[in-house]
């Protein structure tokens, strides 16, 4: 599997992504041709620069300042007239829509009324479209990324002076593991956050891959503390036994409870499952002052974190929920129906590329058959496995 890994040690922005894909081998002329087809007064300049002594590619979009705001339909009309492949157009449109949803949330207005500020400017349109074209031309099947530093301090934007990360960037990075940074500037921009969260499916410090190409995209500023560079590593995912299943990243939520009855905890577990948690389990623990307690652990997708944390706080009254990100390897799986002497029963089949296979009967369906036919549950299980 071809993999691309974003090493965002100095954050990420649209022009850094554009520079990195060009430095990694995507022809600049292919991106220029796509941008030219948009019929906008923009020009892409590419040059080699150094940041803290390290060579990188700087992509700069030259465009006149425009005072008019653009709405999402305006941007989509621009994309529609461009000579882009369906995949490139869909990727660019998804990135812009992600920005629109974030702006809609932070400003509390309907999606159709959101107007783009910096991201609707000509240079940002070029960054996003150019990045969509370049990322597509890389020909990779999976994108991963390191945790993302946002920077610190404040930045001046269309709504005045705002803390870093700005509200829009913070909204876009919900569920994404962040990295600390003491540099007093905006390292990750809304454009960079939108591109990253649209394509990346796993956040990990060290990807499991064999690297064959590396692209370095330069930011505009030159820091004293570290190179202002986005590193894009391309290669092939290792195919050893550990990589024969599927891999993904989940968020782990944990809280310690020592003042609740088992019934309340059980009800909270039911609500968490109903809200879409991948798994919920409890473990008896001993807390301070030798009090017996319960550790509640929830596994979920990044986009479910806010909803599930709200349930933990409201149902348990906990004062805090710990949040970590974990990479996992899982079996490929499918739902199947297995014939038995008492009729069909649902089960789950899992397998790996090395021939390993397992079949797990679905408890609820097995229990239904056992009740309807007055047979032991273990006999139904055995029939399904046979």
Per-residue model confidence (pLDDT) at position 243: 44
**Helix, strand and coil percent figures for the chain, each rounded to 5:** 35, 35, 30
Q: pLDDT tens digit string along 215-263? A: 999 999 999 899 999 999 999 986 544 445 577 789 999 999 998 999 9
Spatial contact of 97 and 89, defined as CB atoms under 8 Å apart: no
Name the residue among 203, 221, 73, 216 with its Cα closest to residue 146.
Answer: 203
Which residues, other chains included, contact 60 with Cβ-Cβ below 8 Å and sequence gap of 6+? 15, 44, 45, 46, 47
Sign of the Cα torsion 366, 368, 369, 373 reads positive
pLDDT at 310: 95
DSSP state of 53: T
Distance (Å, rounded) from C-alpha 135 to C-alpha 141? 10
Cite the beta strand spans of the chain per DSSP E.
2-7, 42-51, 54-63, 70-71, 115-116, 142-145, 148-149, 154-157, 160-163, 178-179, 200-203, 209-218, 229-237, 246-257, 279-286, 292-300, 322-330, 332-340, 343-351, 357-361
Give 71 or 112, the one with higher predicted confidence. 71
Kindly indicate the confidence band of residue 36, based on its pLDDT and cuts at 50, 70 and 90: very high
With cut-offs at 50, 70 and 90, classify the pLDDT of residue 68: low
Single pTM value for the model: 0.63
List of residues 6+ apart from 240 with CB closer than 8 A: none
What is the rounded CA–CA span in Å between residue 135 and residue 137? 5
Helix (H, G, I), strand (E, B) or coil at 116: strand
2-7 vs 142-145, strand pairing mode: parallel
Instruction: Express each pLDDT in 100-127 by its tens digit.
Output: 888 888 877 776 666 665 455 788 889 9
Q: What DSSP designation does 259 have? A: S
> Residue 54: how many CB atoms within 10 A of its CB?
14
Residue with tokens 């009324």: 113
Q: Would you place residue 265 in the very low, low, confident or very high pLDDT band (cuts 50, 70, 90)? A: very high
**Ranges of H-type helices in 262-362:** 262-274, 305-316
DSSP element (H, E) containing 73: helix 72-81
- What average pLDDT does range 128-148 have in this prediction? 94
Q: How many residues are present in the chain? A: 386
Tell me the C-alpha to C-alpha distance, in Å, between residue 279 and each of 108, 312, 317, 322.
32, 14, 21, 16
Question: Is pLDDT at 186 greater than 90 in this prediction?
Answer: yes
Domains along the chain?
2-241 (no CATH), 246-327 (3.30.70.1380), 332-385 (3.10.20.300)
CB atoms within 10 A of CB 165: 25
pLDDT at position 242: 46
The DSSP 8-state label assigned to residue 25 in this structure reads: T
Cβ–Cβ < 8 Å for 219, 51: yes
């Amino acid at each position: 599997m071809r993999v691309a890994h974003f090493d965002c040690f100095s954050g990420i922005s649209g022009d850094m992504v554009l520079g990195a894909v060009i430095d990694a081998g995507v022809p600049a002329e292919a991106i220029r041709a796509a941008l030219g087809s948009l019929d906008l007064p923009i020009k892409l300049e590419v040059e080699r620069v150094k940041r803290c002594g390290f060579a990188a590619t700087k992509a700069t979009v030259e465009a006149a300042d425009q005072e008019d705001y653009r709405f999402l339909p305006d941007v989509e009309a621009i994309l529609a007239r461009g000579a882009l492949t369906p995949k490139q157009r869909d990727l660019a449109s998804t990135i812009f829509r992600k920005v629109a949803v974030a702006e809609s949330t932070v400003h509390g207005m309907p999606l159709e009324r959101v107007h783009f500020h910096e991201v609707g400017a000509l240079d940002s349109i070029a960054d996003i479209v150019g990045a969509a074209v370049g990322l597509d031309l890389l020909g990779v099947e999976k994108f991963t990324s390191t945790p993302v530093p946002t920077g610190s301090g404040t930045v001046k934007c269309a709504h005045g002076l705002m803390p870093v990360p700005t509200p829009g960037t913070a909204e876009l990075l919900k569920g994404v593991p962040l990295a600390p940074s003491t540099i007093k500037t905006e390292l990750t921009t809304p454009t960079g956050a939108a591109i990253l969260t649209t394509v990346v499916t796993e956040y990990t410090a060290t990807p499991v891959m064999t690297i064959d190409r590396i692209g370095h995209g330069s930011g505009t500023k030159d820091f004293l503390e570290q190179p202002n560079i986005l590193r894009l590593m391309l290669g092939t995912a290792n195919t050893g036994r550990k990589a024969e299943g599927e891999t993904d990243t989940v968020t782990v939520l944990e809280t310690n409870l020592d003042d609740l009855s088992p019934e309340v905890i059980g009800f909270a577990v039911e609500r968490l499952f109903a809200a879409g948690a991948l798994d919920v389990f409890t473990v008896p623990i001993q807390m301070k002052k030798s009090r017996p307690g319960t550790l509640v652990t929830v596994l979920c997708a990044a986009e479910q974190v806010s909803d599930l944390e709200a349930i933990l706080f409201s149902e348990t009254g906990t004062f805090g929920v710990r949040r970590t990100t974990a990479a996992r390897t899982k079996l490929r799986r499918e739902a199947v129906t297995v014939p038995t002497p008492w009729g069909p029963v649902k089960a789950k089949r899992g397998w790996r590329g090395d021939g390993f296979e397992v079949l797990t009967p679905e408890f609820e369906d097995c229990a239904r058959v056992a009740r309807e036919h007055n047979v032991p549950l273990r006999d139904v299980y055995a029939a399904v496995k046979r």
